[in-house]
Amino acid sequence: MAEFFVWLSKKHPGWDLPRLFVQVKMLAGCRTLDLCKVKTADLGRESLTLTAEAAKTREARTVPLPADVVSTVRRLAGPVWLWERSLEESKQYRPCPRTHAMTGFSPSTWRWTIQNLFREFNEGRPDKSRLRPHDLRARAITVVATATQSVDATAQAMGIDPQTARHYLDAGKAFDRSAILRRASSLLLPQTGGPNPPQE
């Protein structure tokens, strides 16, 4: 992620909107298009609501945001759509004949812009160091699972079903098997009540 943000600042110096979008996506762990569909009215004092209309799951979810992120989002928010500044800013930073004549914000167009930025970042990079928008979702689910230590609790918090959580979850990073077994050792080996066995 650090390398991506450095690359983005060099690729498009002064363009804050895509960096902010990626930061919010990291916090929300949602689909790219779902976040593109958010409206400015969905931004609260300390959170952002992914409405049922915007989410593919048709279930609303509220995402807490740090105060500095809320402040920046509010500063860059459009009159109606949260990311509608991307319409004119993309013409400045990423001129394209196909989009130059566009006069209205399109969530799908902004989604493709974000995906193209990741694609360009990955050009020439080894497979293991490539970064996709979907990786941010997997990262968020894994981090939340590390905090909850429960797939079901993670799914509930993220507004997804447990099967989806398992699909994205990196269990090896989220769950420390040795620590879990150490905590369970007293249950795995019942106490006999007798004297301790002789030491070898």
Single-letter code of the amino acid located at 158: M
Exposed / middle / buried, residue 42 (Cβ in 10 Å: 0-12, 13-18, 19+): buried
Q: Is the confidence at residue 3, as pLDDT, over 90?
A: yes
pTM: 0.80
Look up tokens 């498009």; give the residue.
12
Amino acid present at 35: L
Identify the band that residue 174 occupies on the pLDDT scale cut at 50, 70 and 90. confident
Alpha-carbon span 161 to 13, nearest angstrom: 39
Segment 37-58, tens digit of pLDDT: 999 999 999 999 998 887 766 7
CB 68 within 8 A of CB 24: no
DSSP for 18-87, written as a single string: HHHHHHHHHHH---HHHHHT-BGGGB-SSEEEE-TTTSTTS--EEEE--HHHHHHHHHH--SSBTTTTHH
**Residue 67: its pLDDT value, please?**
95
Confidence of residue 4 (pLDDT cuts 50, 70, 90): very high
Confidence of residue 102 (pLDDT cuts 50, 70, 90): confident
In the prediction, which pLDDT does 46 show? 95
pLDDT band of 193, cuts 50, 70, 90? low
* Greater model confidence, 123 or 195: 123
pLDDT digits (tens, 9 = 90+) for 80-98: 999 999 999 999 999 887 7
Report, as an integer, the average pLDDT of 61-75.
94
What is the domain partition of the chain in residue ranges? 13-122, 131-187
